[in-house]
Structure 1
Amino acid sequence: MNLRKNLRLLASREKAAHEPSTARTAARVRLGLACLATLGVALGLFETSAAWSWQQWTLALATGSALAASLLRPLAPPPSADLPHGLGHPLSVTAAAWILFRLAAHTGAPAILIPAGAVAWLAATRPPATAILCLLAATGAETALTLSGHQAGGALAAQLLAYGAVAGAATVLRRKGSAPRASAETPPTEATAPGSPHAPLLSALNAQAHAEPEATNQRPLAEELAETLKLQLELLRQSFELTTVAVLLPDSLGRVLRLHCAASTRTDLVPGPFPIGTGITGAFLGPQNEVALAPAGAQPAALPYYPQKAETGAILALRIPDAENNTLRILCVDRRDPSPWKETERQALRLAADKLCRDLGLGLRIEQMNRERSAVQQVCVGLK
C-alpha cells in the first residue's frame, strides 16, 4: 500500500511539474485580453452613440470573442490568486460588466446595476489588492469616457460614489460572515449539553476562548474601512483633477483638528494638530456649511495642512454632517485651476461629504464594539 501511494504521489508531482508553465501562459493571455477589453471601453468602442469604423468593429469583435473564451472558466477563485497571474479572470469579469453597462447606458434601463454587481462580487470574493486594481482600471476607463465627452462629470462622480458604497457594504458583510462560519465549525461537547449544570459557565468560557480570534478578524475590518476611505478620496481627486482631498477630524476634547485621511499629489502635508479656527476652518465656527475660494492665491495658512503661503488655485471646504455629536468635521479640496467651482462639482462633493458621514459613523461603531468585546473578555477571565 505504501509503495502504491508513493507511486501515485510521484506521478502527481511529475504531472504538476508540466502544468505551471501552461497555466501561467493561459493567465497571461487572459490578462492581456482583459486589458484589451478595458482599453476598448476607455476608447469608447462600446458607446452606442458612436459611429464605428471597420477598424473598431474588428477590434470589438476580436476582443468580445477572446473575452467570451476567457469567461468560460468558473467564477470560483483560482487555486493561485497571486498577482499578476490571478488578475486576468477578475479583470475580465470587470471589463465584461462595463462593456454591458456602456452598451445599455442609452436604453433607459437601470444599467448601473451591472457594474454595481461586479463591484460587489470583487469586494466579496477577491483579495483586496486584486479588487482595488480592477476598480482602478474601471475608474480609469470611466474617466477617459468623461474626458472624451461620452458622459457628464456629475454622472461620473455619482457612479463612483455608488461603487464605493457597494464595495464598502460588501466588505463589511464579508467580514461579518467569516465569524459565524468559524464558530459553527466547533462541535458541541457533552459538558455543554443543555442538561449539564456546568453549561452556562462553560459556554461563557468558550465564548471567551473564541473572543481573541474574533478580535483578530475585527482588526482587518477596521483596516479595510480605512483603505475604502482612502480609495474614495483618491477617486474624487482623480475625477476632478484635484491637488488634495483631505478629511479633518477633531480630537476627543474637540479643541484641535487633525489630518485624518488625505489623497494628494503633494508629499509635504502636515498632519497637525491645528487649533480650530486656523485658516479656512475658522469659517466653520458659525453655522456655515460650505466655503469656496476661487481664485485662492497664496493666502497664508488658508489650508492648515500645507506649508506657509502654498500656491493654490481654488479651494472648497464642506462641513461633514454629524447629527449625533455636533462636532466639527471638514472635507477640504483644492486644485491648481483658479476658475470658480461649478454647481455640478459642488453637488458631487456634497454627496461625498454625506457618504463620509456614514463611513466615519460605521468606524466609530466598530471601535465601540471592540471596547465592549474587551470588557466581556475581562469578565470571562474573572469567572474562569
Structure 2
Amino acid sequence: MTAMLLLLIILVFSLMIASATAINGNQTKPGCELYCGNITVPYPFGMGKECSIDEWANINCSTAFSPPKPFIGNIEVIEFSQNEVRLKNLVATSCYNASGFLNGFTSSFYLSGTPYRFSSTKNKFTVLGCNITGLAISVRQTVNYSTTSVRQTVNYSSGCGTSCYGRENIIQGSCSVGSGCCQSSIPEGFNEIYIELLDTSVENHTNSLSCGAAFIAEEDKYKFKASDLNFRNFPSLTEVPMVLNFAVGNQKCEEAKQNATTYACKENSYCYDLVDDGTGYLCNCSDGYKGNPYLNQGCQDVDECENPSNNDCEKICTNTQGSYYCSCPDGLYGDGKKDGKGCTKKNKEFPILQLTL
C-alpha cells in the first residue's frame, strides 16, 4: 500500500512538472524563468541574455523589492504583451512654497539605440496645474533599411498649457478645455523624451494651486480629478501607465524573410510591418493557432471543437491543424453548419406492395 501511494505521489509530481514545463515552454526559451515577481515576462523578452531575443529585451528583474519587479532602464514595467509594453510613469513636477520659492523636478526617458517607441496612438502628453505650460522635448530616431545606420533628429516636441483661477473653475474628468488639465498628442517615433514645466502665472505663488505636474499617460487610463493638483497626490500619478511599442527587427517583413537565420517569426505564425511609431516588424500566430510566435513550436493548434462557442457546427465537429470542419452523423445530410445547411434527416422511402387479384 505504501509503495503504491509513493508511486502515485511521484506520478502526480511528474505531471505537475510536465505541466509547468509545457506552460513555460510556450512562453519562454527552455530553462528560462517566466515570472519576475508577479509579472509575466514572455519571450522575446527575458531575464538574461540567453533568455531574450536581444540586449534591448534583456529585462532587469530587481530583487531589491519583495516581490521582485521588472525594469527597462530605470522604469518599472507593469505589463508585457506581444506588441507593446506598459510602464509606470516618471512625473515632472514644480511647486512654489509659502515663501514663493520654486521646487521642481524634471523627468526624462532615454531609450535610444533600442526599438522601443512611445506609442503615438495610445499615449497623451498630460499637464496638470493652473497657468502652467508643459513641454516634452524629444529625439526622433530613424533607421536606414539598407545600411541599418541610425540617424537622430532633435527638436520634435509636444506641449500644452493650462489656465484656471481657482478650484471652482476646474472641470472634473476632462482635459479637453485646459482648465486645470491639458493634453496633447505625441508625434510618431519618439524614444527619448525630456519633460519640463514652465510657469505662465503673474500672481504670487502662495496657495495650494501653485503646483504642476507633467507626464506621459495612456489616454484611456487617466481621468482628471481636481485632487490631482495637490502635490501630496503627485506620487499616485506614477501608477498611470504609459505605453511603449517595440519591434523585433529593423527591416520590413519582405526583407526580413530573406534571412532565415535572423527572421524572428517561427512556424504557424506570420509577420506584419509596423505602421506607426518606428521601423521594423512583429509576429503573430496564424489563424487557428495561439501561443508565442517568436518561439519554436510556440504557436499551438487551437482545438475549436472543445468549446461549442468557438465553432459553428450543428452536430459533429472535427478538429484539424489550424482549423476544423463540420459534418453530419449517419442518417442526416448537409454541411453540418449552424449558419449553413445544417443537418437534415433523410427521407425514408416506403416499399410499394403490389396486389394481384
What's the TM-score bracket when you normalise by the shorter of the two chains?
under 0.3
| TM-score w.r.t. length of structure 1 | 0.21
TM-score normalized by the length of structure 2:
0.22
More helix by share: 1
Which structure's residues are more often strand, by fraction?
Answer: 2
- Higher RCO, 1 vs 2 (CA within 8 Å, ≥6 residues apart): 2
